[in-house]
Structure 1
Amino acid sequence: FPNDLNLRGVRIVVDCAHGATYHIAGHVFHELGAEVVSIGNQPDGMNINYECGATKPSAMQAAVKQHRADVGIALDGDGDRVIMADADGTLYDGDQLLYAIAKHRQQCGQFKGGIAGTLMTNLGLELALERLNIPFGRAKVGDRYVLEMLLAKGWQWGGENSGHIVCLDKHTTGDGIISALQVLTALRLSGATLRDYTAELILLPQVLLNVKIKNGFDYKKAPEIQQAVKQAESELGANGRVLLRPSGTEPLIRVMVEGKLEDQVQTLAKRIAYTVETAAKAA
């Protein structure tokens, strides 16, 4: 956070998820001048992430409205993820926060390289970055893979829609507090709200369905599945995306479809999921 900038006059709700940042996060924003309302800051060893934090930001949303805060910040239990909210309680995920950071760095003449996302990053972010002439790459899902891409390409910024954000010009790994400070810097210097600052980013409807399969089933060898995917991609054109990804922990295939039209996305996702389910049963 810039030395010549402060957060005086800003009321912030900080949800620490009863986790690692419970005794740190509130003080950080308070020391910068903000009026802080801390929640999720009473860990008992059992309540970490329970009904709070970045994985359940509704608690933060409610507190923002209750206390008429200007912004809300929800961290997760180990403090490496962040989700934020505007004064009206609207949530902003990792894709939107990463866009705000990239846009600000570019406006300040500090941007170089590109942005690393993952296979699950919303296509809307990729298109918005393209309009800013910012290169974008997709890594496998997981912040470790985002970091690997950043190091391989010599880039500095990347993240996941879940709220893992990496800013290598400020730190060496994901840190929710530091990531939130980068967003707040952009908002303070621009005088804009989160809604206004990220207005150019239109997230596309995205549907994710989990399909149970038999252990050992290889969906890539099922021609009917490949045909269903190709048909969906043809219908979506350049404004959509289809992704099939096996779970790393369960016998599941995750079917993701995104595009401009929500009804179309829902229909195509269900069609592909049904094809996967049918092929898996017949295998």
Structure 2
Amino acid sequence: MTAILHTPEVKVRDRVDARVVRRRLGPGHRLRFAFWIGPVLALALWSAGSATGVIKPAVLSAPWDVAVAFEDQWVNHDLLGNILSSLQRVAIGLALGVVAGAVLAVVSGLSRIGESLVDGPIQIKRSIPTLALIPLFIAWFGIGEEMKIITIALISLVPIYIHTHNGLRSIDGRYAELAETIGINHGEFVRHVVLPGALPGFLLGMRFAVTAALLGLVVVEQYNAVAGVGHMITLAEQYGQTDVIVVGLVIYGIFGYCADSAVRLTGRKALAWRQTLDG
């Protein structure tokens, strides 16, 4: 079915369209290392402000002080253990949220009955911030790891569901007509057309889910955590260690960038047959 839908003529037309888009955007619309321009500039401004005294140490520690604090946390305070603890929390919660969101999206997107049962509650949940439910989760599940993982899972579920469901519902009707014309049954149509067609929506939902999961991680680690980056930040706040707080924030930022990069790379590999602005 995929081979039929993507004939040589279609591929040639897509390549021509992509060249037209690139020409209109200009030759410099995509720089290989463009992402690092902003962070490097911010680091330079931060360093200059700290060196000249414009940025006071009590407000924001200098980059070199943060580097020293990182080394101290790594050598003397089990920073690696805290990082691994945070990664474990977010990985389990994100995995649960992704699986649940994808399953619910498929049930809702491929069945009118499923949509009537699933979509309404999800849309209601969408309007209620997950973080506002933490007091209830504490009452239901206690203040331990279970509450933290469930919060991360629930906050990750919604973007996966929304974007995957939209992807399933936005499949071009002409594909269904073509499937009927060439005699493809419903199961093959879903497997070879509908699910691959919804993959871009799922991957977009993954990018939002990763960001949401990290947001949830930052918040839940403030609640009775005995290990993790958030636990380290909480202790640093109590002792007024701004440099250690910045170390934690930098680690969270690295988590987010690496996770988003992994999703984007997966998307480029999985959607290599598509010609998009990113490709």
TM over 0.5: no
Using the size of structure 2 for normalisation, the TM-score is: 0.20
Tell which has more relative contact order, 1 or 2 (C-alpha 8 A, sep 6+): 2
> Whose helix proportion is higher, 1 or 2?
2
Q: Which has the larger radius of gyration?
A: 2
> Whose strand proportion is higher, 1 or 2?
1
Using the size of structure 1 for normalisation, the TM-score is: 0.20
